Amino acid sequence: MIKVTERAAAKALLLAAKEQKGKVLRVGVRGGGCSGLSYFLDFDDRRDDDAVLQVGELTVVCDPKSLKYVDATELDYEASLLKGGFRFNNPLAKRSCSCGESFAV
């Protein structure tokens, strides 16, 4: 499963409250982007086949297909002016684009 830092979990909970969403954060991968695969985050419902991680009050889920590409990935949140936002540190990525939103394995 992925690892979610306390900073990322706290920011996700703030966003969930602001958007009046549930406390289930879905982490996944889609085809596309500069390098072939793109990460995505969304607030969603839990599904029966999801891998589940509990980080404080936040529940993080990932579907089995995406988990193949993000297993052992760390999700962090950086609050700087130039590089602010969620960041994926994926040890499985062999190549990634300069924006850090897409990768290849």
DSSP 101: S
- Assigned domain for 104 exists: no
Beta-ladder partners of 76: 87
Domain count, the chain: 1
- Assigned domain for 101 exists: no
CATH code of residue 79: 2.60.300.12
- Assigned domain for 83 exists: yes
**Phi-psi group of 68: left, alpha or beta (phi > 0 → left; psi -120 to 50 → alpha; rest → beta):** alpha
Taking only the tens place, the pLDDT of each residue in 24-56 is 999 999 987 777 889 999 999 999 999 999 999
- Assigned domain for 52 exists: yes
- Assigned domain for 78 exists: yes
The Cα 4–Cα 61 span in angstroms is: 11
Residue 22 or 63, more confident:
63
The token pair at 6 is: 């306390």
pLDDT of res. 94 = 77
pLDDT of res. 104 = 74
| Residue 80 structural domain | 3-95
**DSSP H helical ranges for 1-92:** 6-18, 64-70
